[in-house]
Amino acid sequence: MLTVPFEDPDMMRESQFGATFTRQEDARTLSSAELKEAEDDNTDREEEEREDDENGLPKKKGARKKKFSEGRGERVKMRRQEANARERSRMHGLNDALESLRKVVPCYSKTQKLSKIETLRLAKNYIWALSETLSAGKRPDLLAFVQTLCKGLSQPTTNLVAGCLQLNARNFLTDHNGDVSFSGRPHQYDSLYPYPNAEMATPTGLSSGTRDSVKPFRPYNYYASYESYYDSASPESSSPRFDGQMSPPNNYNGIFSLKKHEDQVEYSKNCHYGMRYCNVPGRGSMYRVSPDSHFPYDLHPRGQSFQSQDELNTGFHN
DNA sequence: TAGGCCATCTGGTCCT
DNA sequence: AGGACCAGATGGCCTA
């Protein structure tokens, strides 16, 4: 099926026989004359190959190829063009889907788009991190979360995440193995935990208080904290490798706070972010909504303003 | 200038 | 036969 009108001048930008045109360029449309010329070229080449035979016999086995009738040749080229158009359309659809993914993944930025591969990696990390959070049933370590997000991402992307998080990228750079390691205290970390009663497992010593326990402050051992929390596996465990690259999200939005981009309205409509944590009829929310909810990881019922997230966002947005 | 990323073309394969 | 999907090739653009 033709998904795009064949006549669509934009879609039908043609670069027959190898030439390529970018979307911005005013690529020419192959004229029928050019098509005919190309066809003749091919036919001529075939003829030459046959004539090259020293015995004067056709080089190619079998009966001499039936010369395309003009009508058939045109039809073949037409089908090629249609196939090209379909392929373009298909790839555009794929790119649209990728763009959608970019928007729901942390650190969406219109100006600094994540590459395709980085988007996929980040999405995978994001899913993995969220899954871990859910299965753990407790508040995860923020840095661990970030580190998980950055696993396998490129340096620029990691920096981007860092920028979003207002953290120093050095704090969660990857080592040579592609692992994320933390080597310093995130000075602004406390600001991410504005709730005095934070009960989740926060980086040791960083939360202003916990109900479970108060762990000693170990400023240079966050990775250990990360490992303990995500001791099951790393995102890599389910994928072959990361090529030692890591990529960072653009803003803190999807994860620790709502993204403040143009789609925010849509989020509200579609149970995006905020949930993705949609209300469950009769229960208010499918997740616990505690009065002393802790920003990054607590879930809020749709409709409630993510005030705390917004507050945090002010610090995260570039 | 090299390398990364991307869009497009193209031919092959599979499926309906 | 024709469409979807895929991967390789190619060339343009951008950035370090």
What phi-psi label fits residue A42: left (phi over 0), alpha (psi between -120 and 50 degrees) or beta?
Answer: alpha
pLDDT of residue A166: 55
Whether residue A201 has pLDDT greater than 70: no
CA to C1' distance (Å), from A83 to B13: 15
Q: What is the mean pLDDT of residues A42-56?
A: 37
Enumerate residues near strand B (beta carbon within 7 A): A 13-18, 20-23, 27, 80-81, 83-85, 87-88, 91-92, 95, 113, 115-118, 154
Q: What 3-state DSSP class applies to A205?
A: coil
CA to C1' distance (Å), from A207 to B6: 44
Q: Give the pLDDT confidence of A232-257 residue by residue, as tens digits.
A: 455 554 443 333 333 333 333 333 33
Whether residue A79 has pLDDT greater than 60: yes
Q: Give the pLDDT confidence of A270-316 residue by residue, as tens digits.
A: 333 323 332 333 333 333 333 333 333 332 223 233 333 333 333 33
pLDDT of residue A21: 35
pLDDT of residue A235: 57
Q: How far apart are CA A213 and CA A139, in angstroms?
A: 13
Of A304, A312, A265, whose CA–CA distance to A285 is shortest? A304
User: What would the two tokens of residue A150 be?
Assistant: 């950055």
pLDDT of residue A234: 56
Residue A207 Cα to chain centre, angstroms: 31
Q: What is the mean pLDDT of residues A91-104?
A: 87
CA to C1' distance (Å), from A7 to B7: 20
Helix axes A70-104, A32-51, angle to 10 degrees: 120
pLDDT of residue A230: 42
Q: How far apart are CA A135 and CA A301, in angstroms?
A: 20
Q: What is the mean pLDDT of residues A210-215?
A: 29
Residue nearest to nucleotide C10 (CA to C1'): A18
Nucleotide nearest to A83 (CA to C1'): C3
Q: What 3-state DSSP class applies to A180?
A: strand
Nucleotide nearest to A114 (CA to C1'): B5
Whether residue A103 has pLDDT greater than 80: yes
- Protein-proximal nucleotides of chain C (any atom < 7 Å from a CB): 2-7, 9-13
Q: Which has the higher per-residue pLDDT, A101 or A158?
A: A101
Q: What is the mean pLDDT of residues A146-164?
A: 78
CA to C1' distance (Å), from A26 to C12: 13
Q: How far apart are CA A306 and CA A310, in angstroms?
A: 6
